[in-house]
Amino acid sequence: MRFVVRRVAFFVATLWAAITINFLIPRLMPGNAAIAMLGRYRGRINPAALHALEIAFGINTHQGLVSAYFSYLGNIVRGRFGTSLTFFPDAVMHEVLQALPWTLGLVGLTTILAFIAGTLIGLISAWRRGGMLDGVLPPIFVITSAFPYFWLALLAIWLFAIKLGWLPENGGYDVKTNVAWSWTFIADVIRHSILPAATILATSVGGWILTMRNNTISVLAEDYVRMARAKGLSSWRIMWTYAGRNAILPNLTGFAMSLGFVVSGAILVEFVFNYPGVGWMFLQSVENQDYALMQGLFLMITVAVLVAILAADIATAILDPRTRDSR
Amino acid sequence: MRRVLVAALLVATAAAVFASIGSGAPGGSSVTISNEQGTTWTCGFNPFNGSTQFLSAGTVYEELTFVNGLKSGSTTNWLASSYTWGKGNKTLTFTMRPGVKWSDGKPFSAADVLFTFDMLKKNPALDLNAAWSVLKSVRQQGSDKVVFSFKTSAVPYFYYIADQTPIVPQHIWASVKNPVTYKDPHPVGTGPYTMSACSPQVIKYAKNTSYWQKGLPKIDTVFYPAFTSNDPANQQLASGEAQWGSQFIPNIKAYYLSKNADNHYWFPPLVNVDVFFNLKDPVVSNIAVRKAIAYAIDRSKVSQIGEYGYEPPANQTGIVTPTFGSWLDTKAASTYGYNPAKAISILTKAGFKRSGNGTFTTPSGKPLALRIINIGGYSDWVASVQVIQNQLKAVGIQLTAENLSSTTYDTDLFNGKFQLAYSGNESGGPAPYYELRQILYSKNSAPIGQTAATNWERYSNKTTDALIEQYGATTSSAQQRAIVKKLEAVMVNEVPVIPVTESVDWYQYNTKSLGGWVTQGNPYAKPAAYEHPDWAVMLLHLRPAG
């Protein structure tokens, strides 16, 4: 219990620091939103209209830093992140919530799949070193994970979408499909996610396999595994509860962090596949000096990563009794 | 092992099932647009929001008079059935077309026009074209006329008032609390299409069945997908899934034309891309330097290497050809042909010294080294400036390029913190006058350190200003042409900027299932899908082929 309380207190302190840094960083960046606006319209807007827009946006209002900070804190508590300039006049929350399901669906699912697949392959190939599985899968995935993502993705598009025409090459769904909770639409969404998901998996499974395989091999040399064998436990049980449970510990924190980063999306994936997620939105907000959107996204990522780490800490405590007693 | 096999089998079956369910295309004729805007749709259609107006102006909300920018501003009556200038071109009277209805069935009237312009006056943030900087008043006369009174003669403003201001319905917008932040998710307009479905990924427009132009439009549905990057948008065009493109496509012959005999493209030039000189800079304020550079740049080479030949070479008069060819003073345009020897002799005569290795030093003994700012993200501009760098090096002028992020670049450009800048005035207008005015009118400029709207080189000359104002007072084509000829002379004699290439409207089209497209032989509207209200004129001309 004390362990959990300490972790939660640490979590709150980190969160406060992150929120404050999140407030300061955009304000320390060069340039200003008004110029970014003018640039975006590129001579199509007159300066008087621009000035009026600045007032409407609430930029260049010369609000003091301290009072801005407190109104920012107050708004965060109430879940208000202001109006996005990129998607004017939409609220930041509205835009983020629209993009988030796509990112969670694609990147979240593939992250979990990659972890599960990588861990299983790593465990089994370490258990049966030199076996057929160990000889084929790890080398293949290590090679594919060494490819630059965009290159692999473009290759996949060229082969499966353009040459063979099996799968659509871009978007979250076909533009002519009606958006509804219908079987056709869901099937269309899945069809559109196969290529991006497959390419993410191909480039991310390798890392999990390697670490899991190496961890398992070093665990297998431990005395308690030898002891288990000596006791005559089934090799299935040794693999899962003795080797697997101990070997997975270092990977768990890594997995939690990558889960937290899921909400930041995958900029390259979304760019190459024209996928309507959060990553691309992030890039856009930085380019347009869209402080409100930037802050909303940063905060979401920070909170997600912190929560994931907290969860991983607690999970580790459950899996590994030693961490509970350590002071 | 068996589990793995089962799983693989499951995946394969699922894939086969999904692959077999084709996306059922709806019945009727349709056109799909491919125009990368680098953003997903907000599903807002406020026609006075600068970043969404191209999605509703023209198709949903219509203009009073259509002005064709490819035919020197020839007009077609639209919501207004006629217009007349009066009182020394200080009043403009529109007569409204009878029988026009909003898409909710209510009748359109002069009161809607009055309401729209009043709203722009009350909310300067909506007045994107600064109509109220020249307007004195707008009032209704009788039941079907609206009279615009101007502070001074304002003939060129006709384009902004009649063509660039979409008219919105009073019965809906009157109850909008703040039209600046109003999203307008379900627009009600008089136009040929209504927005029928929208998601961040695609907008679907359906035919307005009670449109006032009888029998039109002939295309039932318009799909406008959102593209955040160029490659997927180009791929949709190459595969024929999208029929109307507004895209930059590298190596268009191999990538687009060769894919299908029905694929075509046309890139009509509209405005110049120029080298801007900061006329407050001690080195480039010397006209000899500017003239020498004008001779030293081989514009056709810049066009070929930097712009794939898509954007043709420009000429020093600032008249974009062939689009505005009839305005061109051909003799003036032929000065500053590529001539490096002449560039060298101009500099030598002006007291610049050429050293043994061919580089110039200024009369005060410093090396003639210039710096040009450019947008690092525009790969074509970066390539163009590289060509210019080499050409200037050949005559002994050193040019350093600073490829900046677009925000830094804009700040420097607008505030005059540059020596040379590679830039284009992307707005232009339906006649060459608009661009020349943007470049030369001193009221579009500002002191160094303050934001200039368009006259970034800070050119200021009372005689030129007077010429620009005179143009505004005349509707006579002969007089307008005489004035533009004098402005061309200013461009040639004073070289405030050097037009290098002509930026174009990106336009690709597929004739397999659709006919009636804009062609070079029949330029009835600007053909890029992002041009408004022109894209609606194009949609009204489209028809199923065969």
Q: Which residue has the tokens 């407030």?
A: A23
CB A236 within 8 A of CB A201: no
Give Dmax (Cα) for chain A. 85
Residue B24's pLDDT band (cuts 50, 70, 90): very low
Computed on alpha carbons and rounded to an integer, the radius of gyration of chain A in Å comes to 24
Per-residue model confidence (pLDDT) at position B40: 85
**Span A107-157, pLDDT tens digits:** 888 889 999 999 999 988 888 888 888 888 888 888 888 888 888 888 888
| C-alpha to C-alpha distance for B32 and B45, rounded to whole angstroms | 19
Q: Which residue has the tokens 């008004």?
A: A34
Q: Which residue has the tokens 């309507």?
A: A276
**How far does CA A319 lie from the centroid of its chain?**
24
Cβ separation A45–B239 shorter than 8 A = no
CB B201 within 8 A of CB A173: yes
* Residues comprising chain A, all counted: 327
| C-alpha to C-alpha distance for B320 and B327, rounded to whole angstroms | 9
| C-alpha to C-alpha distance for B244 and B33, rounded to whole angstroms | 5
User: How far apart are the CA of B182 and the nearest CA of chain A, in angstroms?
Assistant: 7
A231, B206, B531 from B191: Cα distances, Å:
83, 11, 16
| C-alpha to C-alpha distance for A214 and B143, rounded to whole angstroms | 85
Pairing between strand B398-404 and B263-265?
unpaired
| C-alpha to C-alpha distance for B263 and B251, rounded to whole angstroms | 14
Per-residue model confidence (pLDDT) at position A178: 74
| C-alpha to C-alpha distance for A74 and B226, rounded to whole angstroms | 35
Q: The dihedral of CA A259, A261, A262, A263: what is its sign?
A: positive
Measured between CB atoms, does A170 come within 8 Å of chain B? yes
Cβ separation A184–B24 shorter than 8 A = yes
By C-alpha distance, the chain A residue nearest B178 is A56
Provide the Cα torsion B179, B185, B189, B191; round to 10°.
Answer: 130
Which among A176, A271, A288 is the top mutation candidate for probing chain B, defined by the most B β-carbons within 10 Å of its own β-carbon? A176
Residue B511's pLDDT band (cuts 50, 70, 90): very high
Segments making up each domain of chain A, as ranges: 101-286
Per-residue model confidence (pLDDT) at position A247: 86
What is the mean pLDDT of the segment spanning B226-233?
A: 84
Q: Which of A31, A161, A176 sits opposite B408 (nearest CB)?
A: A31
Q: Which residue has the tokens 């514009």?
A: B299
Q: What is the DSSP secondary structure assignment for residue A159, as one 8-state letter? A: I
Tokens linked to A195: 């290529």
Contacts of B361 (CB under 8 A, 6+ apart): B352, B353, B355, B367, B368
Count CA within 13 A, CB hemisphere, residue B175: 2
Can you list the alpha helix ranges (DSSP code H) found in B123-189? 158, 170-173
Pairing between strand B398-404 and B369-375?
parallel
Give me the phi and psi of A2, to 5 degrees please: -60, -35
Residue A21's pLDDT band (cuts 50, 70, 90): confident
A172 or B369, greater pLDDT = B369
Tokens linked to A15: 């969160």
Q: Which helix (H) or strand (E) holds A30?
A: none
Contacts of B454 in chain A (CB under 8 A): 43
Per-residue model confidence (pLDDT) at position B540: 95
Instruction: Please calculate the CA angle A283-A288-A289 and round it to the nearest 5 degrees.
Output: 100
Residue A73's pLDDT band (cuts 50, 70, 90): confident
Per-residue model confidence (pLDDT) at position A316: 81
Domains of chain B in start order, with CATH, are: 14-60+191-268+505-544 (3.40.190.10), 65-173 (3.90.76.10), 271-504 (3.10.105.10)
Neighbours of B279 (CB within 10 A): 20
Residue B76's pLDDT band (cuts 50, 70, 90): very high
Q: Which residue has the tokens 């000065």?
A: B335
Contacts of B179 (CB under 8 A, 6+ apart): B46, B48, B119, B123, B126, B173
Beta bridge partners of B275: B422, B498
> What's the start-to-end Cα distance of chain B, in Å?
58
Cβ separation A53–B180 shorter than 8 A = yes
Q: Is the pLDDT of residue B179 over 80?
A: yes
Give me the phi and psi of A149, to 5 degrees please: -55, -50
| C-alpha to C-alpha distance for A324 and A313, rounded to whole angstroms | 10
CB A77 within 8 A of CB A170: no
Neighbours of B287 (CB within 10 A): 16
pTM of the prediction?
0.83
| C-alpha to C-alpha distance for A150 and B233, rounded to whole angstroms | 17
> To the nearest whole number, what is the mean pLDDT of chain A?
81
Residue B213's pLDDT band (cuts 50, 70, 90): very high
Per DSSP, chain B holds a count of helices (H) and strands (E) of 16, 22
What is the mean pLDDT of the segment spanning B43-61?
A: 91
**Residue A208's closest CA among A305, A111, A102, A289?**
A111
| C-alpha to C-alpha distance for B275 and B277, rounded to whole angstroms | 7
**Span B383-406, pLDDT tens digits:** 999 999 999 999 999 999 999 877
Whether the upstream peptide bond of residue B217 has omega within 30° of 0, thus cis, is yes
Q: What is the DSSP secondary structure assignment for residue A45, as one 8-state letter? A: S
By C-alpha distance, the chain B residue nearest A187 is B18
Computed on alpha carbons and rounded to an integer, the radius of gyration of chain B in Å comes to 26
Tokens linked to B488: 């061309």
Burial of B173 (0-12, 13-18, 19+ CB in 10 A): middle
HEC per residue, A240-277: HHHHHHHHCHHHHHHHHHHHHHHHHCCHHHHHHCCCCC
| C-alpha to C-alpha distance for A90 and A83, rounded to whole angstroms | 6
Tokens linked to B449: 């350190």
| C-alpha to C-alpha distance for B226 and B274, rounded to whole angstroms | 31
**Residue A220's closest CA among A234, A201, A200, A239?**
A239
Contacts of A87 in chain B (CB under 8 A): 39, 42
Amino acid identity of residue B45, one-letter, is: F
Which among B42, B237, B244, B256 is the top mutation candidate for probing chain A, defined by the most A β-carbons within 10 Å of its own β-carbon? B42
B6, B119, B275, B397 from B3: Cα distances, Å:
5, 68, 67, 72
What is the mean pLDDT of the segment spanning B52-57?
A: 91
Tokens linked to B261: 């005999």
Q: Is the pLDDT of residue B453 over 70?
A: yes
| C-alpha to C-alpha distance for B276 and B423, rounded to whole angstroms | 7
Count CA within 13 A, CB hemisphere, residue A263: 19
Cβ separation B200–A45 shorter than 8 A = no
Cβ separation B228–A31 shorter than 8 A = no
Cβ separation A43–B425 shorter than 8 A = yes
Instruction: Please calculate the CA angle A69-A75-A80 and round it to the nearest 5 degrees.
Output: 135
Measured between CB atoms, does A144 come within 8 Å of chain B? no
User: A101-286 has which fold?
Assistant: MetI-like fold (1.10.3720)
Residue B20's pLDDT band (cuts 50, 70, 90): very low
Angle between helices B477-494 and B462-471 (to 10 degrees): 160
Contacts of A143 (CB under 8 A, 6+ apart): A206
Contacts of B472 (CB under 8 A, 6+ apart): B89, B152, B153, B154, B155, B156, B157
Measured between CB atoms, does A101 come within 8 Å of chain B? no
**Span A170-216, pLDDT tens digits:** 778 887 777 777 888 888 888 888 888 898 888 888 889 988 988 88
Cβ separation B124–A48 shorter than 8 A = yes
Which among B161, B201, B255, B404 is the top mutation candidate for probing chain A, defined by the most A β-carbons within 10 Å of its own β-carbon? B201
**How far does CA A273 lie from the centroid of its chain?**
17
Pairing between strand B74-77 and B65-68?
antiparallel
Per-residue model confidence (pLDDT) at position A324: 67
Give me the phi and psi of A81, to 5 degrees please: -115, 5
Pairing between strand B221-225 and B30-34?
parallel
Per-residue model confidence (pLDDT) at position A67: 80
CB B256 within 8 A of CB B508: yes
